[in-house]
Amino acid sequence: MLQHNNLPPCIQTQVPLHDKNWFGTGGLARFFCAPQTAADFQQALVWANEQNIELFILGQGANVLINDDGFDGLIIAPKINHIQIDGNYITAGAGVTMDQLITYCLDHQLLGLEEFSGIPGTVGGSVYINLHYFEFLLEQFLVDAHIINRTTGQIMQVTRDWFNFGYNYSELHNQPWYLFDARFVLKPASKIETAYARGRRTEIIRHRMRRYPSAGTCGSFFRNFHAHEVTFEHNGTKMIHVAYYLDKLGLKGNFRIGGASVSWQHANMIVNNGTATSANIVGVARHMQQTVFDAYGITPQPECILIGFKPNPLLSQPHGV
Ligand SMILES: Cc1cc2nc3c(=O)[nH]c(=O)nc-3n(C[C@H](O)[C@H](O)[C@H](O)COP(=O)(O)OP(=O)(O)OC[C@H]3O[C@@H](n4cnc5c(N)ncnc54)[C@H](O)[C@@H]3O)c2cc1C
């Protein structure tokens, strides 16, 4: 049993999480901390290590699903919100949202990041996943970063190479470090170029609103397949897009459990109509996996990060053999 009397002041107990993620579901965090300074961040990490409790770092919760039973450990949601400019370089804390960062860049006539307009998330979560939209990847803009050690709270500077970025991947998935802040290089622009970029931003958001659900979802639930995982070809091209299979199998807008359903706008997105539980969402996701497996022998794997689920409630790859 944990002693609560040595809780650092920045840590709260029994904190609801349904209002801290985009699905809008999930139970309570046993411990919760939203550090605004490096010192509070370090103190929370060291405390969790001393107490030997499970740790999870949460951004804006745009790519997570939290168990209805909550999380029996410490959730740290960094509010490290500094933004600094130096010529065409911008440093942003892990808690800055991409929307805030893009606005700041455009206000300073720096272009590039507006390609990610309309995608929810913090700098921390976005570096973690190497945020992607069509041919743009966040790694194309990142120069270096400060990372913070999960157990000691030590802060270290690293360059882009450290992250070993890939599709949906950064070294933050494997290493005992979290992102503290990141520095991006952007393209200086004239006033007129910036005005065009603002127009593009508006157009991207408008386009996204038409194509994808924008609330009660985590975006794409499953990652696309890697080429080596698939054999099915269409017009001589390997079909890696998981939405292609889900759409072909008629799941789009057509499968529901409780308040959770496959979006009618996008076959790889699950939406909560406001009444879903996380268990409903898991049920829909498992059905999507099983349907693709039965038809094609491959099992979609989540891009969405599951929090507080033990054991993994989804189907692993390979299964059924
Ligand atoms: C409507 C919608 C549309 C979306 N469209 C896209 C899209 O087009 N392209 C795309 O790539 N994604 C998309 N996503 C997914 C999501 O926006 C991104 O994954 C985003 O980067 C998540 O950021 P977050 O701060 O919300 O992270 P969270 O969802 O809170 O966390 C995601 C992961 O990042 C880790 N993490 C968070 N902060 C840190 C940190 N400081 N250090 C280390 N790890 C950290 C968490 O531990 C977790 O594993 C979409 C999501 C939604 C809801």
- Looking at ligand 1, which residue's alpha carbon is closest to its atom 39? 124
What does the pLDDT read at residue 1?
45
pLDDT at residue 258 tops 90: yes
Pocket lining: 128 vs ligand 1, CB cutoff 6 Å: yes
Report the alpha-carbon distance of residue 216 to residue 149 in Å, rounded.
Answer: 32
pLDDT at residue 45 tops 70: yes
Residue with tokens 């409790």: 53
Report the alpha-carbon distance of residue 46 to residue 265 in Å, rounded.
Answer: 44
Pocket lining: 130 vs ligand 1, CB cutoff 6 Å: no
Summarised one tens digit per residue, pLDDT across range 217-227 is 999 999 999 99
User: Can you give the residue ranges of every domain in the chain?
Assistant: 11-76, 83-208, 227-307
- Looking at ligand 1, which residue's alpha carbon is closest to its atom 36? 125
Q: pLDDT category, 52, cuts 50, 70, 90?
A: very high
Ligand 1 centroid from CA 79, angstroms: 15
Cα four-point dihedral sign 136, 95, 181, 55: negative
User: Which of 299, 275, 285 lies closest to 251 in space, CA to CA?
Assistant: 285
Beta bridge partners of 33: 11, 76
What does the pLDDT read at residue 5?
57
What percent of the residues of the chain are helix, what percent strand, and what percent coil, each to the nearest 5?
Answer: 30, 25, 45
Cα dihedral: 228, 230, 232, 236 (round 10): -30
Report the alpha-carbon distance of residue 99 to residue 212 in Å, rounded.
Answer: 18
- Looking at ligand 1, which residue's alpha carbon is closest to its atom 21? 126
Pocket lining: 217 vs ligand 1, CB cutoff 6 Å: yes
User: Which of 36, 37, 39, 41 lies closest to 55 in space, CA to CA?
Assistant: 41
Give the type of residue at 97. Answer: T
The residue to mutate among 18, 33, 129, 156, having the most atoms of ligand 1 within 8 angstroms of its beta carbon, is 129
Which of 3-17, 82-96, 141-155, 238-252 is the least confident region?
Answer: 3-17
Pocket lining: 246 vs ligand 1, CB cutoff 6 Å: no
What does the pLDDT read at residue 206?
97
Q: What is the mean pLDDT of residues 261-283?
A: 98
Q: What is the mean pLDDT of residues 67-76?
A: 98
Nearest atom in ligand 1 to the alpha carbon of residue 95 is 41
Q: What is the mean pLDDT of residues 41-62?
A: 97
List the CATH code of the domain at 83-208.
3.30.465.10
What does the pLDDT read at residue 235?
86
List the CATH code of the domain at 227-307.
3.90.78.10
Residue with tokens 């168990």: 67
Pocket lining: 91 vs ligand 1, CB cutoff 6 Å: no
pLDDT at residue 7 tops 90: yes
Whole-number percent of the chain with pLDDT over 70: 97
Number of H helices, E strands in the chain: 7, 20
What does the pLDDT read at residue 6?
84
Compute φ and ψ for 90, nearest 5 degrees. -130, 130
Ligand 1 centroid from CA 201, angstroms: 19
Mean residue pLDDT of the chain comes to 95
Pocket lining: 61 vs ligand 1, CB cutoff 6 Å: yes
Pocket lining: 129 vs ligand 1, CB cutoff 6 Å: yes
Question: Quick one: tokens of 200?
Answer: 């593009």
What does the pLDDT read at residue 3?
53
- Whether domain 11-76 has CATH 3.30.43.10: yes
Strands (E), the chain: 11-16, 28-33, 55-57, 64-66, 71-76, 83-86, 89-93, 110-111, 132-133, 136-137, 142-149, 155-159, 177-185, 187-188, 233-234, 237-238, 256-257, 260-262, 270-272, 305-307
Q: What is the mean pLDDT of residues 288-313?
A: 96
- Looking at ligand 1, which residue's alpha carbon is closest to its atom 40? 124
Cα four-point dihedral sign 145, 135, 169, 309: positive
Ligand 1 centroid from CA 304, angstroms: 8
Q: Is 89 left (phi over 0), alpha (psi -120 to 50) or beta?
A: beta
